[in-house]
Homo-oligomer: A and B are copies of this chain.
Amino acid sequence: MSSEAHPTDTQARGSGRKNRGNGSRRDILDAAARLFQQKGYDATSLRELANAVGMKAGSLYYHFASKEQLAIEVLAIGVKAVTDNVSAHLKAAGPGVTPQQRVSIAIRAHLESILSDGGYTSAHIRCFPYTPEAVQSQLRTVRRTYEDIWTGLIDDLAGLGERPEEARHIRLATLGALNWSLEWFDAERDDMEDYARTVERLIIGASGNVNSG
C-alpha cells in the first residue's frame, strides 16, 4: 500500500483537467519533498524548488505563505503517509495476529514508506530536526499520533507495557534502526525485505530475551 491518499488531494485525479505537470500546488509539494529529502531544509532554496516545477520563486507564494509553511505541509504529509500506511497494513492483517506479527507488519510498512515513498516521509525524517522551531511545533501532534501507534505495538510485546521506560527504548531503537536506513540504503544493493527481517529479528530477540535479562 504505497499510494495512500494525500491530505491535500482535493482536485479530481484523472479527470480531464489541464494538469499537465505545470506548477500546481501538488507539483510543488512533490518537488519540495524530493528536494528536502535530498539536500535538507536549509540547503533547499525556493528558487531551486520553483525551477524544479517550472515557475519563478515568487510564484510559490501564491500557493504557500512561506518556506516554513511549505515545510510544515510537506512534513505533515510525510508523517500522515507513514501513519496511514502502517495503520492500513495493520488493519488489513485483521485481529488474529500476534503482537510480534503486528510489529513485523509495522516494520515493513514503515520501511516501505521511507524507502519507496515519493519522498514525503523520508523528507520528514531527514529534515525535521533541522527545521525552525515554528515548523517543529506545528508538527508535534501529527508526530505524536504516529508515535502512539508504535508505543501501542511495543507495549503489547511480552509484558513490555509494564516496563514503560524499557518499552520506550525498544521503540526508539527500532525506529532508529529503521530511519537510519535513509543514510545508507542503496536500492541497487540492498533488499528491503532482507533488512526488514533483520530489524524484526532484532526487536523480537530483544523483547524475548528481556525476561532472562
Contacts and interface: CB of A to CB of B under 8 A. Distances in A.
A165 interface: yes
A112 to B, nearest CB: 16
A175 B181 CA distance: 10
A174 B43 CA distance: 29
Interface in A58-89: none
Nearest to A167: B198
A202 B198 contact: no
A110 B84 CA distance: 35
Interface of A is mostly: helix
Given A40-B130, A201-B213, A209-B204, A177 B173 contact: yes
Interface in A168-189: 169-170, 172-181, 183-184
A70 to B, nearest CB: 17
A54 interface: no
Interface of A: 39-40, 42-43, 126, 129-130, 165-166, 169-170, 172-181, 183-184, 190, 194-195, 197-199, 201-206, 208-210, 213
